[in-house]
Chain A
Amino acid sequence: MTRISLTPIIDVVFILLIFFMLASNFNKVGELNMDLSKESSQSSNEDIKLIKLIVKQDNTVMSNGKIYDDDELLTMLRLAMKEAQQYAIILTAKDDVTYQRYLSLMSFLKTNKIDNISLGIKDEVKK
């Protein structure tokens, strides 16, 4: 009975293995959709309550001169959302805030079902 030599099979399989090891990508990427057109339309609508939040790097958020941590912020926002029929949250940040901190807060708010968040884009030209 003729037996097949395994050496060529091992060669081919090794090559395929190396190909897939090099070509495969395990990075999982997440996305967050932001609608820039909302911000300008909301600020001109007088019926909408605007809630302005200033993100700080030390894991706190400032609003109307008061400082909140994450839990206090949630409580404050839920209360504000109940009182207003329509609301919009505008998120701005101090200059030393990193993108990581900003995105973490946005994700935290969205996870807690606080939507209608707009990016507070500062127009430095207007200052």
Chain B
Amino acid sequence: MKLKNKEKREYEDDGLLPLVNIIFLLLIFFMIVGVIEKNIVRDNMQLPKVELDKFENKDITKIFYDADKNIFINDEIININDIGKKIKSLKVTDVILVADKSILISEINSILLELNKNEITNIKLLSTLNAN
């Protein structure tokens, strides 16, 4: 009885090797260069483009002021008249201000006034170091 020769399997995957190489390269690129971090900037907000010292994200109260003139303290939307009350209830001395680049300084002035009245001693102002 003749034994059937085992059929030579054709390995069709050989043509995929260059694709696998490229995919691995992209994967290594994103693993090394990308930073997995929550985006500090809310939607509808573009930070001013100014060269400043690199921001180190710490667990500090953040005040957001977007292009639609909505104010948020951390994730809670708030009225400008209630900022003082909220800041007082949080009992903080440091705050990060994240504001859209198009906001007028007179509007930010109102927030700064409230913060100054409520014993905030240190404010961090944020900017983007990338081209928009």
Instruction: Give the interface of A toward B (CB within 8 A).
Output: 3, 5-7, 9-10, 13-14, 16-17, 20-21, 23-37, 40, 55, 93, 95-104, 106-107, 111, 119, 121-124
Closest residue on chain A to residue B19 by CB atoms: A10
Distance, CA A31 to CA B62, complexed state (A): 13
Closest residue on chain A to residue B52 by CB atoms: A30
Q: Min CB distance, A81 to chain B, in Å?
A: 22
Q: Min CB distance, A100 to chain B, in Å?
A: 4
- Beyond A27-B128, A29-B126, A31-B53, 11 additional pairs, beta carbon < 8 A: A6-B20, A7-B13, A20-B34, A21-B34, A29-B41, A31-B96, A32-B127, A37-B122, A100-B50, A103-B125, A121-B113
Which residues on B sit within 8 Å (CB–CB) of A26?
A: 33-35, 130
Distance, CA A104 to CA B101, complexed state (A): 10
Which residues on B sit within 8 Å (CB–CB) of A13?
A: 20, 23-24, 27
A6 touches B16 (CB 8 A): yes
What are some 7 contacts across the A-B interface (CB < 8 A)? A25-B38, A29-B40, A32-B125, A32-B126, A33-B123, A97-B105, A122-B113
Q: Which of B20, B35, B121 contacts A36 (CB 8 A)?
A: B121
The number of chain B residues touching the other chain, given as a range, is: 35 or more
Q: Min CB distance, A9 to chain B, in Å?
A: 7
Q: Knowing A20-B34, A24-B36, say if A98 contacts B121 (CB, 8 Å).
A: no
B20 touches A99 (CB 8 A): no
Q: Min CB distance, A121 to chain B, in Å?
A: 5
Q: Which of A9, A33, A103, A119 contacts B112 (CB 8 A)?
A: A119
Q: Does B90 contact A (CB under 8 A)?
A: no
Q: Does B83 contact A (CB under 8 A)?
A: no
